[in-house]
Chains A and B, each alone.
Chain A
């Protein structure tokens, strides 16, 4: 009796998956959820932010059924390779280093990196000016690579989340941080905790470190999916959906030129 029940259940389950495979394409999207205003968890416990809205818009454009999988940034590429997720939409910059293991879509935005620190500290953005200072970055990000290579006489402190960098900057454990400009201005400087802090030094756009913008990360073998995403990005740029999402968060076009 038990055996027949089990096999009946098995047949039911397999047929259910077969049916659903035939209609809408199902995708698991890896997101970060700790990188405001791009990706964060709202007070209602739900994911929100620019990345999330873009992901939903792209999925709708591609007529795919997407589920968001939230996890820490340094686990996203391993999860992608382990097929736990199918695409990464987490403000991931397209860099030469990542291209070795990940297939990228075209960029969906491109913003510069900046140094930020306490207003009253009067820091200068040079190797000598930052000598002996503690600079916070998010581990394995483009900002980590850039700071490690550029500010050789400084102590680079690495965190799992960008939020933790801002927490320790506000607490005074760090002298400065290297971060994405809109993420830092809206995720920290605009908040009460960040009112004594400001950007200093130049706007960093070096392609060697910061790549050519943020793209959607995919498995090397999924080139068809990449083409679908590229077409969807073009489509939402053209039909005004992108602009609507953009204007919800920023007062300038973060797509960054052509």
Chain B
């Protein structure tokens, strides 16, 4: 049966791992969202000079696996001498920075598409009404399009956040001891893979539960006008 002594004695490792996972997740989400909003506006633009470059960016980063992106950033870039001698090397030599960079770019690409989709699917009547009121394009975005699009992005964005939480589990391949890293450590120390990974799974489940609850609250607050009538 399950060896609970091993699980209990390695709990500190898992709690430290949870902090690492959360730090990676929150930084990646914050940076990703910050860049995703302006990129989404460009992506939804009718001007191809604005929308095509953003399309290319999201196509590349949604079209390649996160693991490959992390390998390219961490091991790939370090291969070139000019990178190792450049001013960005102190940052790129850190496993933390590389993991956060890879995760932030990846979630940024997905979030851009989510928000851009919400912007383009805005009810045309609202846009026409705003224009008839004499709103400039900037005011139109600030008052009508963005508030509405961001609200309607919430359900899709909650999926992205959960996927990103699970995506951070590859951080252990670049020596970071996140929850999965803790599980690998415990597995290799005690040769008990089931105990090691079922504990990790429980930690991820708990984190997902918290995230889902937060999004549930957010949707109640900001999406109540779209809730099904009873």
A9, B189: Cα distance in complex, Å: 44
Q: Is the CB of A171 within 8 A of B93?
A: yes
Q: Is the CB of B75 within 8 A of A101?
A: no
Which residue among B79, B95, B191 has the maximum number of chain A CB atoms within 10 Å of its CB? B191
The residue that B187 contacts in the complex, of A74, A157, A159, A171, with Cβ under 8 A, is A74
Q: Is the CB of B93 within 8 A of A159?
A: no
In B150-197, the 8 Å CB interface with A consists of: 173, 175, 184-185, 187-189, 191, 193
At the interface, yes or no: A129 with Cβ under 8 Å from chain B?
Answer: no
At the interface, yes or no: A158 with Cβ under 8 Å from chain B?
Answer: yes
At the interface, yes or no: B23 with Cβ under 8 Å from chain A?
Answer: no
Q: Tell whether A159 pairs with B78 under 8 Å between CB atoms, given A140-B189, A171-B84, A171-B93.
A: no
Minimal beta-carbon separation of A233 from chain B (angstroms): 25
Minimal beta-carbon separation of A149 from chain B (angstroms): 14
Q: Tell whether A81 pairs with B191 under 8 Å between CB atoms, given A139-B185, A167-B78, A172-B84.
A: yes
Which interface class (under 10, 10 to 19, 20 to 34, 35 or more) fits B?
10 to 19
Q: Is the CB of A101 within 8 A of B175?
A: no
How many CB-defined contacts (below 8 Å) exist between A and B? Answer: 38
A94, B32: Cα distance in complex, Å: 48
At the interface, yes or no: A132 with Cβ under 8 Å from chain B?
Answer: no
A197, B95: Cα distance in complex, Å: 22
Q: Is the CB of A159 within 8 A of B191?
A: no
User: Can you spell out 14 A-B residue pairs with CB atoms less than 8 angstroms apart?
Assistant: A74-B187, A77-B191, A78-B193, A81-B191, A101-B191, A139-B184, A140-B189, A157-B175, A158-B175, A159-B175, A168-B78, A171-B78, A172-B78, A173-B95
New A-B contacts (20) at CB < 8 Å, excluding given A159-B175, A167-B78, A171-B79: A74-B184, A74-B187, A77-B191, A78-B191, A78-B193, A81-B191, A101-B191, A139-B184, A140-B189, A160-B173, A160-B184, A164-B75, A167-B75, A168-B75, A171-B84, A171-B93, A172-B78, A172-B84, A173-B78, A173-B93
